[in-house]
Amino acid sequence: MADRPLPAIVGCTASGKTAMALALAERWPIEVISADSRQIYRGMDIGTAKPDATERNALPHHLIDVADPDEYYSAGRFAREALERADSIGSSGSRPLVVGGTGLYMIALAGGLDDLPVRNDRIRRGLRAAEEGSPGFMRRALLRLDPERAEQIDGADLVRHVRALEIVLQSGRTLSELRGRSEGPGTELRAAGLRVAPAELKRRIAARTAKMLQAGLVDEVRGLMDAGYGRDSALGRTIGYAEIIDHLEGMIDLNEAVARIETNTWRLARRQRNIFRRLPGIRWFGPGRTDAVEEYLFGGGKGA
């Protein structure tokens, strides 16, 4: 892939990325590299809108079902594995096409992610234990060790406090000192971004949420919980799963869970749009622009 940019289809959730990839696969020998930070997890199928068996038979997908829900999988790891798959696909005579909505994965693939220490569960457990024993401990520690970052984080945001302290404790440097050092090998991308009008996107989100419920989302979440996965796994960090956990634990009824899924998915879509603005080599296309996307990514010439 060194002789040309790596093609990609990106966009917020429910923007039609899989449908576009399938349309292109009718014209080109494509294999998809999934750039979705939740479709990597085994067993999380319905709530992540994973391509179904028919779609995957029609179009091979890579980097789906590569980790368990309690396994840590970083953007840097994605970038390395995606480039390995791209080389392998190209060597086989097919065309690699990255498809997904996780902007951080795409930025890492382009070599634009800061080179930060990886997650350290031992440090995280220690920090959380210290916080439980002395509320406010992490805030006080971060104000002392990285006051610049502390001023950027809400005092109640313990997740970001943990990460900031984890960085300092492992590297001996603050986040601002490490900014700008690229993680991962990086490659040139040519990304087609799919853009849907807000009203239409909200309609699609509602329809997809209803489809997930009809397909058995509640039973899927129940089964994963029975298998030992809970709020401290990817389930608790994934829209659709976290809300159903609340329902199954009696905190909210199913109607409220559905309403929260739709609201949180809409908020996620807005965040996705913002992060894709940082992605180099992106051009935006409206619905149904298959020919234009094909021309931009592959230069036309059917099956070339």
Span 18-45, pLDDT tens digits? 999 999 999 999 999 999 999 999 999 9
Q: Are 283 and 301 in contact (CB under 8 A)?
A: no
pLDDT digits (tens, 9 = 90+) for 224-238: 999 999 998 999 999
User: CA 206, CA 222: separation in Å to the nearest integer?
Assistant: 22
Q: What's at 218, amino acid-wise?
A: V
pLDDT digits (tens, 9 = 90+) for 90-133: 999 999 999 999 998 998 898 876 667 778 888 999 999 999 99
pTM of this structure: 0.79
Q: Give the model's confidence band at 288: pLDDT under 50 very low, under 70 low, under 90 confident, else very high.
A: confident
